[in-house]
Each structure stands twice: as structure tokens, then as C-alpha cells.
Amino acid sequence: MTPATTNGTTTEGTASARPRFDKSAAVAYEGARVLDTRSACQVLRAQGVTKSYRRGVWPRRRVLPVLRGADLELCAGEVVGLVGENGSGKSTLMKILVGALDADAGAVWAVDRVGYCPQEPLLYDRLTCDEHLELFGVAYAMDPAAVVAASEALYASLGFARWRGARVEELSGGTRAKLNLALALLSDPDVLLLDEPYAGFDWDTYLRFWELTAERRAAGRSVLVVSHFVTDHERFDRLVELRDGKAVSR
Ligand SMILES: Nc1ncnc2c1ncn2[C@@H]1O[C@H](COP(=O)(O)OP(=O)(O)O)[C@@H](O)[C@H]1O
Ligand SMILES: [Mg+2]
């Protein structure tokens, strides 16, 4: 299993991608093969992912099926929108793709370097922005000089350098969202999974976000974005909708 750090890049692995979770290995991986990363559409692939949550306590215990065999594929240099009604399972699927949550069945293959920006920023109140970037740099096993260079570029492009020495508890929601995104981008991952990344962004930052996304596409990186805004839809190469627990092309 490839462990994943929240907000960030998976930290271990070999050059080739392999199934990320093995809970139902006996069934799910029958006939499965290692991703062929020479193929443009084999950057990230999910097959037959199912997930149910258990709610309540006996005798009122019930099972809520959320994903019922979702398939998804991401190609190199593609920006894909993941849409669906509230509660359709977008965040659940993202957590499974990044390895933060186990599926009940199915399989996920991905290249090793996957960045993740969770819907709820998971930040440490007592640490500053600089300390977060430094900490995540260590988690990604980055060279300290590369962490400094990448941090400076992210502060400049997202426009929050003046908050670099401030603790998270002092930051506005918008600045926390910028830090959340910066942490996911720090190690320049091949695949970026963003769960409603711009809630709280002002208009300039929102536009800057799309410029950054376009730069990643041009560099052959892939981005999967959970989005609610209809106006965003023209910015995606394609849209995938979660409906009745399955992923359908739109
Ligand atoms: N940890 C959990 N325990 C129980 N139910 C959950 C849990 N996480 C999510 N759910 C439920 O699963 C459904 C899908 O949630 P989610 O993946 O967050 O949807 P979306 O991101 O599309 O709004 C919702 O009905 C939600 O209430
Ligand atoms: Mg969600």
C-alpha cells in the first residue's frame, strides 16, 4: 500500500504505479496489472470502487451506500472536473483515490506523486505558514533549498507572503485555503486532487488558481477538481459526474 500524507504527495514507492489499497485484494486485484505509465491515460485509474458508511447504533444501525462501482481515469496533461450533488460522494472518492480512506472493494492505481488538497484544510493552529511548508517539505523528502524555492514561488503566485510568519490560528479562511493549496503544490506532483479548493478565495486568487492549473496542464501534469460552479465547467477538459454512486461522463 502506498501511504499518503494529507494535503500532499504520497511518500513512498517505486517508479511504476501499483494498486494503492489491498483490503479486498483477493477479489479486486484478480487480473489487475501495474499501470503502464507510458500511456497518457494511465496517470490515475480507479476501477469498481465501492464504499458504504455505517451509521447509528444497534438496533437503528443502517448502512449508507455512497459509491457503487465508480470507475475513473485520468490522463497526463488533463484537467478534469468532478461534479455531483451534495452528498453524492465526491469527497469520499477523492479520499479513496489518495489513499486516505479504504474502499470496501475495487482498486486504485496511480503514479507515485499524487498531491491532495482536502475539502477541510487540515492545518496545525499553532504553526506558521513557513513552518507548515518546512514540515511538509520534510515529509516529501525534499531538499531544503528546493522547499525554500518552491515556497517563495507559491507565496508570490498565491499572494500570501505577508502571512508567512503568522500562525494558522490568526489566518482568515481565504488565507488558510491558500496555504492548503500551497501544501498540495509544494512538491510539484504529477497528479493533483483538489476538493473544492477555492472556497474562500477572492476573485484575483480564483483567477490565479486557474492560471496555475493551466500551467500544470501545459507541463503535462494532471488535475482533478471537485467544483460546484457552473461557470467553471468550460475550464475543464472534461467533466465526470457522480450519480447514484457511479462516475459518468458529461
Ligand atoms: N465518515 C462518514 N460517516 C458516515 N457518513 C459519511 C461519512 N463521510 C461522508 N458521509 C456521508 O456520505 C455521503 C457522501 O459524502 P461526501 O463524500 O462528503 O459527498 P460530497 O463530497 O459529494 O458532498 C453523505 O451522505 C455524507 O453524509
Ligand atoms: Mg465534499
Ligand 1 lining (C-beta closer than 6 Å): 53, 55, 64, 66, 84, 86-92
d(CA 216, CA 244): 31
Compute, in angstroms, the gap from residue 69 CA to the centroid of ligand 1.
16
Number of domains forming the structure of the chain: 1
Q: What is the pLDDT of residue 124?
A: 96
What are 135-187's pLDDT values in tens digits?
A: 999 999 999 999 999 999 999 999 999 999 999 999 999 999 999 999 999 99
Q: What is the pLDDT of residue 248?
A: 94
Output the furthest CA–CA distance in the chain (Å, rounded): 57
3-state secondary structure at position 122: coil
Compute, in angstroms, the gap from residue 82 CA to the centroid of ligand 2.
10
Q: Whole-model pTM?
A: 0.84
Q: What is the pLDDT of residue 16?
A: 39
The cell numbers describing 160, all together, are 500570501
Q: Which residues surround ligand 2, an ion (CB under 5 A)?
A: 90-91, 119
Q: For residue 89, which ligand has an atom nearest its CA?
A: 1
d(CA 166, CA 218): 33
Nearest to 248 by CA among 71, 44, 108: 71
Compute, in angstroms, the gap from residue 87 CA to the centroid of ligand 2.
7
d(CA 132, CA 36): 34
Q: What is the domain range of residue 31?
A: 1-250
User: Which stretches in the chain have pLDDT values below 70?
Assistant: 1-41, 230
Question: Contact, 52 vs 65, CB < 8 A?
Answer: yes
The DSSP 8-state label assigned to residue 250 in this structure reads -
Q: What is the pLDDT of residue 15?
A: 34
CATH code where residue 198 lies: 3.40.50.300
